[in-house]
């Protein structure tokens, strides 16, 4: 197994503005919204010699198998408000919102995806009665494409990688089509910034669950990174208040664009093909608007190979958490960090520390999950201690 662990030399002691409270209020009006579980994983903590490991399990979020709907829903809503020039008529639930927006039809949402974001945008389009057009890189697993089509989306396979799909999706923008991308490029920055804002709900939920318990807030937070939008949300949350845990970002070895950019001192393209099984992280370029937060806010960059991810999936299954390849990356990264000569000291008081890992997806490719873990995802056993 191979990994690359690097301390961030670009780190700045900068404070960011806290996200607007309207985000959480918006999410509470989404169907099937409830905070996801925060789990205590004592066996994993023992194995890694840390005081406590908390797992924020984004394996089921509003009925979808990843956290991405939090960003896609908030950004779509904000983009629609901008399109119609203000808030729609007052609404209490998504059906009322859809009725208030019916006059826009025919109307479309478009994006590129390596899986989860596209599914979330497709889901949002269906809820609002809009069409969805999703652009995907070649080689995407059939299960992921089928899931988007089951939401009613048109899926177009681009002969190229994720970055090619992003470029193609950007061309769809029109009076009748909003591009809701989770990555940004020059001139396209507002919507991806709102995607980042939407993700901050996860960390607000973690705070609430911990405040309602006897537990300590995390000393370290570990998050997987593709274009870095999710990590930018972690930086927004954890670098806007008084608690400032060590932040660790995890990427695949051959798509470590945030780590490579940090080492180069500027945004750097890591050319494909990106073939990691952590498909949600197969991105060659960090998001432009995420970069200032990533470069200033992260403490450690860790890239891991697929064997690390497979092992972490099995370890999480032993702890009763069903994590897909991408979702398991945070545990894989933590394991690699703590096994590294310098990384092992990232927590000054390891045995007394609490580490939060975010498991960002469930078994999005059930066939691959069973092949790796040796059991079907619906046969992963007992429930861990839920903090909340």
Ligand X SMILES: Cc1ncc(COP(=O)(O)O)c(C=O)c1O
Rounded Cα gap, residues 106 and 289, in angstroms: 31
Is the CB of 97 or the CB of 222 nearer to ligand X? 222
Q: What is the DSSP string of 203-238?
A: HHHHHHHHHTSSPPPPSEEEEE-SSSHHHHHHHHHH
Q: Residues 178 to 217: which contact ligand X by CB under 6 A?
A: 182
**At 122, phi and psi to the nearest 5?**
-60, -45
327 binds ligand X (CB under 6 A): yes
| Binding positions for ligand X, 81-120, rule CB under 6 A | 114-117
**Count of residues interacting with ligand X (CB under 6 A):** 22
Helix (H) or strand (E) holding 313: helix 306-318
Residue 289 binds ligand X (CB under 6 A): no
> Which CB sits closer to ligand X, 200 or 353?
200
245 binds ligand X (CB under 6 A): no
224 near ligand X, rule: CB under 6 A: yes
**Within 10 Å of residue 10's Cβ, how many Cβ atoms?**
15
Whole-Å CA distances, 299 to 152, 199, 223, 250: 41, 20, 12, 11
Show the binding pattern over residues 333-372: x = contacts ligand X (CB under 6 A), - = does not.
Answer: ---------------------------xx-----------
Dihedral sign (CA 361, 363, 364, 365): positive
Q: Which is nearer to ligand X, 56 or 108 (CB)?
A: 56
The reply to whether 252 sits near ligand X by the rule CB under 6 A is no
Residue 182, CB half-sphere, CA atoms under 13 Å: how many?
38
Structure tokens at 298: 């992260």
Print the binding letters for residues 6-45 with ligand X: x by CB under 6 A, - otherwise: ----------------------------------------
Asked if residue 230 binds ligand X (CB under 6 A), the reply is yes
Kindly indicate which of the ranges 37-45, 152-160, 277-285, 369-377 contains the residues binding ligand X, using the contact rule CB under 6 A.
Answer: 277-285
Beta bridge partners, 135, equal 112, 156
Q: 288 near 166, Cβ under 8 Å?
A: no
Residue 274 Cβ, how far from ligand X at the closest point, in Å?
12
Residue 329 CB, shortest distance to ligand X, in Å, is 7
Residues lying near ligand X in the complex (CB under 6 A) are found at: 66, 68, 114-117, 182, 224-231, 280-281, 283, 326-327, 360-361
């Amino acid at each position: 197994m191979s990994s690359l662990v690097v301390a961030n030399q670009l780190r700045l002691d900068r404070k960011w503005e806290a996200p607007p409270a309207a985000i959480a209020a918006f999410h509470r009006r989404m169907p099937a919204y409830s905070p996801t579980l925060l789990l205590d994983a004592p066996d994993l903590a023992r194995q890694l010699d840390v005081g406590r490991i908390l797992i924020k399990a984004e394996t089921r979020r509003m009925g979808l198998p990843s956290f991405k709907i939090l960003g896609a829903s908030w950004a779509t809503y904000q983009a629609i408000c901008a399109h119609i020039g203000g808030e729609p008529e007052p609404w209490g639930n998504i059906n009322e919102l859809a009725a208030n927006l019916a006059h826009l039809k025919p109307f479309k949402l478009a994006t590129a995806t390596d899986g989860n974001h596209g599914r979330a945008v497709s889901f949002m389009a269906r809820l609002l009665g809009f069409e969805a057009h999703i652009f995907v890189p070649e080689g995407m697993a059939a299960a992921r494409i089928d899931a988007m089509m089951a939401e009613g989306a048109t899926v177009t396979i681009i002969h190229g990688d994720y970055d090619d799909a992003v470029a193609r999706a950007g061309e769809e923008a029109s009076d009748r089509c909003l591009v809701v991308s989770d990555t940004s490029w020059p001139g396209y920055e507002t919507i991806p910034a709102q995607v980042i804002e939407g993700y901050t709900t996860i960390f607000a939920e973690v705070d609430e669950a911990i405040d309602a318990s006897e537990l300590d807030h995390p000393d370290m937070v570990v998050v997987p990174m593709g274009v870095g939008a999710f990590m930018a949300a972690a930086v927004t949350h954890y670098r806007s208040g008084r608690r400032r845990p060590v932040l660790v970002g995890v990427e695949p070895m051959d798509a470590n664009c945030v780590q490579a950019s940090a080492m180069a001192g500027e945004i750097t393209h890591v050319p494909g093909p990106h073939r990691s099984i952590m498909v949600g992280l197969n991105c060659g370029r960090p998001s432009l608007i995420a970069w200032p937060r990533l470069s200033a806010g992260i403490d450690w960059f860790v890239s891991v190979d697929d064997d690390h991810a497979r092992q972490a999936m099995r370890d999480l299954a032993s702890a009763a958490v069903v994590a897909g390849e991408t979702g398991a990356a945070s545990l894989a990264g933590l394991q690699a960090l703590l096994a590294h000569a310098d990384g092992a000291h990232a927590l000054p008081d390891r045995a007394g520390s609490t580490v939060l890992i975010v498991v960002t997806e469930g078994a999005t490719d059930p066939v691959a999950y069973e092949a790796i873990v040796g059991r079907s995802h619906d046969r992963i056993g007992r429930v861990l201690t839920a903090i909340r």
